[in-house]
Amino acid sequence: MLNLFCPICLRDCDETELSCGGQAHLIRRDHASSDKDFYEYLYERKNDKGIIFERWRHVYGCGKWFHIARCTLTNQVFGSYSAKEVQPPKSILATIRRSRVDFKGWVK
Amino acid sequence: MKRYSLSSIFTEAFRDNLGWEKAWTKRQPKKEYQIIIVGGGGHGLATAYYLAKNFNITDIAVIEKGWIGGGNTGRNTTIIRSNYLQESSIGIYEKSRFLYETLSQDLNYNIMFSPRGVLMLCQTEHELRAMKRTSHANRVNGVDTKMVGPEEVKEIVPIININGPRFPVLGALWQPRGGTARHDAVAWGYARKCSDFGIDIIEQCEVIGVKKKRDKIVGVETTKGNIKAKKVCFVAAGHSSVLADLAGFRLPIESVALQALVSEPIKPIIDCVVMANTVHGYLSQSDKGELVIGGGADGYNNYSQRGSFLHIEETVRALVETFPVISRLRQLRQWGGIVDMTGDRSPIISKTPVDGLYINCGWGTGGFKAIPGSGWATAEMIYNEQPGKLASPFSIDRFSEGRLIDESAAAAVAH
């Protein structure tokens, strides 16, 4: 069972209280975008084996979205941050680097 | 290769079984092959087998990161059925089920195919309506299924509780020709026959890079050195995105852990496969007497091959309500596999942006049933350098072109 910190309620929540919203920091496209951009937004996912940044929603709590950094192989969680961030904050990247020396940083 | 037969059993019985050969030869990679198949699971081995059998190509290497049958081929709940809704899905899954019927004879390896019947329960009005639609679609496309009422369900599966309380059984879609097979034997049988054709099966060999020359594939980089090839096919299920990343493109796929479990072995209580899609659980009994139970996939991407405990609880809770007799059983084993989910829950059998590189992935939670058909269609695509009739609807372009093959109702797994 994953146990994630909700940065809005400021408390730890079990996986059963939450719902995963997939890859974070996607660039939202609309009808004015090119077909290629829209396809990327709608379907293409990084699906990395390793560190990922993803969206979660505290459905059975405050109902708000937030972001986390997690390793998909070990399920180690490196911290939560606000859904308003357009890219992972430096503090989270530093936390990841402390336990993963080979971490190359966030790729768009 | 020595044929398995009644006389070979007799002969071996009289000489302490010392004459049996290894089922397949473990090889080291050569410098170059005509075709490299990355992934030595059922789909990869079947692809290599049908390339050799249907098209006489044997200069093939099947590269496997772990060991043969150690991935999803050995981790599923062994269900075989073809009761899908869309014409293109029915095409490939029915081809597959048909090939399964004679696969033991074809491979000279007992895969223990048991057409014991698959029952898909309808436990809500909406599901009943959806299944009726599926049964009509099946009939139009020549798949032998029919709708049965609650009383007939009780007759087929006497241990079932059809009265609810939460989800009473309103009917079911019954495919008498569906069933189960021994999953390991499918992988081993294909591996043995591939090896017999002279195809190199290379285990413990991980692909760590893709060699390209001007958008054309020229080979792969592996933990056992570089191997050149004119054509490469990725058949890596949950790790398809990792390989695609090495080749420089992204896939419309997300990998999640899907779990299954078996109970302690008991006397025979159920002689068909029951799938309860509304409550997300499915059940059959293995020849050893264990109840084989499958359930929901994790709600988030991961490669952990473990899965969350809460999904086991959910699955078992639902099944205990439908089959009260199993409530005192203990769990014997639990395991997980990494499945590759596409948005429309249909597979991808396609060419890729890299010339000479093909991909077969996206089977999600239901790849085992499709092994022979998928191998058949992929072999055809690799040989002709373009997908044939079976594979063409499943090309990767379908997402950008908007011709999705929606099968989310056909899968029994929560996703």
Give pLDDT, residue B414: 46
User: In this structure, are B271 and B309 located in the same domain?
Assistant: yes
Question: Which position has the token pair 């079984």?
Answer: B17
Give pLDDT, residue B248: 94
Is B410 domain-assigned? Answer: no
Q: Which domain holds residue B261?
A: 118-180+255-342
* pLDDT digit string, tens, across residues B238-285: 999 999 999 999 999 999 999 999 999 999 999 999 999 888 889 999
User: In this structure, are B191 and B68 located in the same domain?
Assistant: yes
Is B263 domain-assigned? Answer: yes
Give pLDDT, residue B415: 44
CB contacts, 8 Å: A46 with chain B: 241, 245, 250
User: In this structure, are B240 and B259 located in the same domain?
Assistant: no
Note the maximum CA span of chain A. 42
User: In this structure, are B96 and B165 located in the same domain?
Assistant: no
User: In this structure, are B38 and B103 located in the same domain?
Assistant: yes
Q: Which of B92, B134, B138, B142 is nearest to B394 (CA)?
A: B92
Is B232 domain-assigned? Answer: yes
The answer to whether the CB atoms of B310 and A15 lie below 8 A apart is yes
* pLDDT digit string, tens, across residues B317-336: 889 989 999 999 999 999 99
Residue B157 DSSP symbol: -
Q: Chain B: residue nearest A41 by CA?
A: B252
Question: How many percent of chain A have pLDDT more than 90?
Answer: 89
Q: Could you give the ipTM of this predicted complex?
A: 0.92
d(CA B378, CA B106): 19
Which CATH number goes with the domain that contains B237? 3.50.50.60
pLDDT values of chain B reduced to their tens digit, one per residue, 415 residues: 889 999 999 999 999 999 999 999 999 999 999 999 999 999 999 999 999 999 999 999 999 999 999 999 999 999 999 999 999 999 999 999 999 999 999 999 999 999 999 999 999 999 999 999 999 999 999 999 999 999 999 999 999 999 978 889 999 999 999 999 999 999 999 999 999 999 999 999 999 999 999 999 999 999 999 999 999 999 999 999 999 999 999 999 999 999 999 999 999 999 999 999 888 889 999 999 999 999 788 889 999 888 888 888 988 988 998 999 999 999 999 999 999 999 899 999 999 999 999 999 999 988 999 999 999 999 999 999 999 999 999 999 999 998 999 887 666 554 4
Compute how many other C-beta atoms are within 10 angstroms of the C-beta atom of residue B409.
16
Which residues are bridge partners to A85 per DSSP?
none
User: In this structure, are B205 and B232 located in the same domain?
Assistant: yes
d(CA B29, CA B38): 13
Q: Which of B72, B20, B288 is nearest to B187 (CA)?
A: B72
Mode of pairing for the β-strands spanning B32-38 and B225-234:
parallel
Give pLDDT, residue B295: 78
> How many angstroms separate the Cα of B63 from the Cα of each of A51, B33, B48, B58, B340?
26, 12, 11, 14, 19
User: In this structure, are B167 and B294 located in the same domain?
Assistant: yes
Structural domain count of chain B: 2
Question: Which position has the token pair 């990998």?
Answer: B255
User: In this structure, are B133 and B274 located in the same domain?
Assistant: yes
Q: Which CATH class is domain A3-99?
A: alpha beta
Is B9 domain-assigned? Answer: no
d(CA B377, CA B383): 10
Which candidate from B253, B308, B400 shows the least CB-CB separation from A15? B308
pTM score: 0.94
Is B94 domain-assigned? Answer: yes
The answer to whether the CB atoms of A15 and B309 lie below 8 A apart is no
Give pLDDT, residue B12: 94
> How many angstroms separate the Cα of B306 from the Cα of each of B175, B298, B319?
31, 10, 21
Cα B278 to the center of its chain, rounded Å: 22
Question: Which position has the token pair 């000279």?
Answer: B108
User: In this structure, are B35 and B84 located in the same domain?
Assistant: yes
d(CA B351, CA B399): 14
Is B315 domain-assigned? Answer: yes
User: In this structure, are B265 and B338 located in the same domain?
Assistant: yes
User: In this structure, are B265 and B388 located in the same domain?
Assistant: no
Is B299 domain-assigned? Answer: yes
Instruction: Compute the nearest-CA separation of B303 from chain A (Å).
Output: 5
Note the maximum CA span of chain B. 64
Q: Which of A61, A98, A64 is nearest to A79 (CA)?
A: A98
**Omega before B165 cis (within 30°)?**
yes
The answer to whether the CB atoms of A72 and B299 lie below 8 A apart is no
Task: Give the list of residues 6+ apart from residue B19 with CB closer than 8 angstroms, or none.
Answer: B2, B11, B12
* pLDDT digit string, tens, across residues A6-46: 999 999 999 999 999 999 999 999 889 999 999 999 999 99
User: In this structure, are B270 and B332 located in the same domain?
Assistant: yes
Is B16 domain-assigned? Answer: no
**Which domain-ending residue is among B342, B361, B385?**
B342
**Which domain-ending residue is among B314, B342, B370?**
B342
Q: Chain B: residue nearest A70 by CA?
A: B302
Q: Which of B325, B342, B312 is nearest to B404 (CA)?
A: B342
- Interface mutation target, options B303, B338, B350, B404, chain A, most CBs of A under 10 Å: B303
Instruction: Compute the nearest-CA separation of A40 from chain B (Å).
Output: 9
**Which domain-ending residue is among B297, B312, B342?**
B342
Give pLDDT, residue B409: 65
Question: Which position has the token pair 């941050």?
Answer: A81
In the predicted structure, residue A99 carries a pLDDT above the cut 80: yes
The answer to whether the CB atoms of A47 and B310 lie below 8 A apart is no
